[in-house]
Amino acid sequence: MITLHTIAELRAALNKERAAGKRIGFVPTMGNLHEGHLQLIDQAKANSDVVVSSIFVNPLQFGAGEDLDNYPRTLVADQEKLNSRGCNYLFAPTDAEVYPNGRESQTQVEVPEISDLYCGATRPGHFRGVATVVAKLFGMVQPDVAVFGEKDFQQLMVIRKMTEDLSLPVEIQGAPIARNEQGLALSSRNGYLSEQELETATVLNASLREIEAALIEGNKDFDSLIESAQQCLETAGFKRDYLVICRSQDLQPATSEDSQLVVLAAAYLGPARLIDNLQINL
């Protein structure tokens, strides 16, 4: 695997691959990689000839008081993991390389409506930062296909809409959530949790599974299902952020007539904000 730090180096390398007729797959990350990230690499590898990953902790998507300064930077370990999975290129730019004129004067990409819901409501400006950096990375890498994890379901929807609205020639693929044996969604922020908190964290997915079972049995009292799950989470030690039952196609609140659903949840446990979701086909 070749590690590149500048846009000029990246474009020179990938121009040669394109000239040889190679299909470029791309997996953008913020580093501190775990098995979930590596499964994205596997999917990109299966759908392209050359796999590029990026590691960039994007300051635009962090709000005031969030964990930008403390977010783990583990470049050497990440390089070893990517190399072991057959990644061809790692793009690891500096902040100055991505935002050469400073963040304040950076053109920003806003995906309306969907960015204001759920994670967007509790983290104002977050999805603007995500859309901006992904649009820039797409311009730098110019991939044929890009793979994103479905754990960040709303983020995936934002990126799909941005790509479609801007007519970007990139195929967006979602990859299933990677979980541990207890059902906890793998996340870089799981590293903030103690051993006891890691055990408690499994209650988040268990609560979503209980909602799924109730929906399959025909219970359409969404408000009651949500409140019951929230109380279960609070009893376990979580602090509420949001828990909603939505239409999977547009993330609008579901009604009893809808059959393609997704349950989205975010909650605080100790020092970590954890997210999870469950897609349900009724």
Mean pLDDT, residues 195-220: 97
Active site residue ranges: 37
| Helix, strand or coil, per DSSP, at residue 278 | strand
For the residues 30-49, what does the mean pLDDT come to? 98
Which domains does the chain show, CATH number per domain? 2-175 (3.40.50.620), 188-277 (3.30.1300.10)
- Determine contact, residues 135/166, Cβ cutoff 8 Å: yes
CA distance 258 to 152: 22
**Rounded CA separation 83/90 (Å):** 9
Which H helix or E strand runs over 34? Answer: none
How far is residue 130's CA from residue 29's CA, in Å, rounded to a whole number? 11
**Entry pTM:** 0.95
Q: Average pLDDT in the 99-106 region?
A: 95
pLDDT for residue 70: 85
Mean pLDDT of the chain: 97
Instruction: Tell me the pLDDT tens digit for each residue of 124-173.
Output: 999 999 999 999 999 999 999 999 999 999 999 999 999 999 999 999 99
When pLDDT is averaged across residues 111-117 and rounded to a whole number, the result is 96
